[in-house]
Amino acid sequence: MNTEILKNISYGVYVVSTNDETKSTGCIANSVIQVTQDTIAISINHNNYTNECIKKSKKFAISILDENIEDNIIPTFGFQSGREINKFENIEKVNFDNLDVIKNSIGYLTCTLIDSLETSTHTIFLGKIINGDILNNNKNPMTYAYYHKVKKGLSPKNAPTYIEPKNETGYKCSICGYLYVGDITKENNDFVCPICKQNKNVFIKV
């Protein structure tokens, strides 16, 4: 199968947040679907701490990201683990229904868990919408196509759309984990990581 066809499916970019016993946590998600007027489906990798916490807390929130969201959001929620850091510690946030959401996002939905379905790699969670609102008008939602083509971002390893590069040279950002496919040494000296904006000198060959 030509996996390039999958990149033509329309996706958004979101932060799905929830709580563990002591703090808020969350991860980047691109698979968020409105199933009915009051039901949302999300897909979260089994390895994500967010998956474990949703199963325990029975609730989650969705922050809808815009094209110009702060540079620290995707590296924090997409390339780091809530098992190791407090992801919301340095993030501007607001709280609704005891769930933290991204303050500068377009808006949010809060949900209670009503059902789930296991696949080989991901859990599909069904949530009943209990609240939602627009936080910032006049912003364009970030699509996954925009993230790839304009931001030059790659999928986090746990994303449903992640495809492992094969037989290619790659460099990994030692700060945020972003993977550059190709020879980064051929980039100009003003090249910076599209996620965390660090110089190419922080990349290591993988």
Report the CATH number that the domain containing residue 126 is assigned in CATH.
Answer: 2.30.110.10
> How far apart (Å, rounded) are the C-alpha atoms in residues 80 and 38?
31
pLDDT digits (tens, 9 = 90+) for 105-149: 999 999 999 999 999 999 999 999 999 999 999 899 988 776 766
> Which range marks the domain in which residue 197 is found?
164-206
125 with 173, same domain: the answer is no
Task: Give percent of the chain above pLDDT 90.
Answer: 53
18 with 98, same domain: the answer is yes
131 with 196, same domain: the answer is no
Higher pLDDT, 113 or 200: 113
Look at residue 46 and tell me if it is in a domain.
Answer: yes
Mean pLDDT across the stretch 66-83? 88
Report the CATH number that the domain containing residue 175 is assigned in CATH.
Answer: 2.20.28.10
Task: Give percent of the chain above pLDDT 70.
Answer: 86
Look at residue 104 and tell me if it is in a domain.
Answer: yes
> How far apart (Å, rounded) are the C-alpha atoms in residues 152 and 197?
12
pTM: 0.77
pLDDT of residue 121: 93
Higher pLDDT, 194 or 114: 114
- Name 198's Cβ contacts closer than 8 Å, sequence gap at least 6: 173, 175, 176, 192
End-to-end CA distance of the chain: 26
C-alpha dist (Å) from residue 155 to 22, 97, 120, 152, 190? 29, 30, 19, 10, 23
176 with 137, same domain: the answer is no
pLDDT of residue 166: 57
